[in-house]
Amino acid sequence: MLHGRTIESIEKISLEIGASHYLISGNGAAVYDIQNKEIIYSRFLSKAQVLKIAEECEQNSIHYNVYTDKEIIAQNLRYNILYYHNENLKRPEDKRTYINIVPDMLSYLKNLDNNNFLKVTICDENIDVFNGIIKKIRSLDKFDVLDVEYMSKKKIRRGTEDFFVEYYYTEITDVNVNKWTAIEFLMNKLNITPKEVVAIGDNFNDREMIENSGLGIVMGNSNPFMKIMGDLIVTDNNSDGVCEAIEKFVLN
């Protein structure tokens, strides 16, 4: 199983669906052996890198979150964190994504002992502000910054009503971190060829694996850029698109 979330969060989902061998976390920053409870591949951001990004965001009043292998660190419930929080409300406490809301992000990060930093995410509703901070961060250090052209749009249900949260979003990782690089590690370990890989994705951080897999499947709610590059399109995430893909192209 492969996801952008923390190892701890994905492991809970993996065990729930019976995927008990390996998982890929942080969009390719780490590969985790579920049975042996160990990280077998990693390309973490250093603490110095994370602090550089955090300081730049603080100086420019930009919303950011930091993902470690165990938690998502945030200052408030906004943007993608609001979506995760809403998902948590539907799940038992022991199966929730751990979101750690802290009053002072920079101080918390400076004193944090855990150095397994998967990624930093940045969100803003204004495209000019968003592009400005991305340009600054690209000049700070050797990072991989996810290229973004479209707004992210998340549907959140509250009671009987749906509302949408829209924002520009990017992810900052160590260099050469993406889902396909991590898949390649597992392919070599398990003696699997690219033609044997089926990838299902919906966003820019899925691009490399959709392009390189033997079969790249794109969700119906994906942005137009992703739909062009996929081999096949299934229904959206609210209509069991992943289930459709697995039943049609994996189980059969």
Q: Where are the domains of the chain?
A: 47-173, 193-252
pTM of the model: 0.85
Distance CA 63, CA 40 (A): 32
> 153 - beta bridge partners?
166
> Which burial class, exposed, middle or buried, applies to 111 when counting CB atoms under 10 A from its CB (0-12, 13-18, 19+)?
exposed
Query: Of the given ranges (114-123, 136-145, 177-186), which has the lowest mean pLDDT?
Result: 136-145
Please report the pLDDT score of residue 43 as a whole number. Answer: 94
- Length of the chain counted residue by residue: 252
182-199 as b/e: b if 16+ CB within 10 A: bbbbbeeeeeeeeeebbb
Q: Tell me the mean pLDDT in the region 197-226.
A: 88
Q: Rounded mean pLDDT of 182-205?
A: 92
Structure tokens at 230: 């996929």
pLDDT of 205: 84
Contact of 81 with 134, CB cutoff 8 Å: no
Whole-angstrom distance, CA of residue 200 vs CA of residue 3: 11
Residue 11 in tokens: 């492991």
Please give the Cα distance from 88 to 160 (Å, whole number). 17
Whole-number pLDDT of residue 2: 56
Write 44-48 long-range contacts (CB < 8 A, 24+).
44/115, 44/116, 44/117, 44/118, 44/174, 45/117, 45/118, 45/119, 45/120, 45/143, 45/172, 45/173, 45/174, 46/115, 46/117, 47/109, 47/112, 47/115, 47/117
Which residue in the block uniquely carries the two structure tokens 């940045």?
Answer: 122
Q: Which pLDDT tens digit goes with each residue over 30-89?
A: 999 999 999 999 999 999 999 999 999 999 999 999 999 889 999 999 988 888 888 888
As its CATH architecture, domain 47-173 has: 2-Layer Sandwich (3.30)
Which CATH number does 193-252 carry? 3.40.50.1000
d(Cα 194, Cα 209) in Å, to the nearest integer?
10
Cβ-Cβ contacts under 8 Å for 127 (sequence gap 6 or more)? 168
Category of 240 on φ-ψ map: left (φ > 0), alpha (ψ -120 to 50) or beta: left
Mean per-residue pLDDT over the chain, rounded: 88
188 has pLDDT over 90: yes
Question: Please, which residues have CB within 8 angstroms of residue 160's CB and are 6 or more apart in sequence?
Answer: none
User: Would the pLDDT of 1 be above 70?
Assistant: no
CB contact set of 85 (below 8 Å; sequence gap of 6+): 77, 99
β-bridge mates for residue 206, sequence order: none
d(CA 134, CA 196): 36
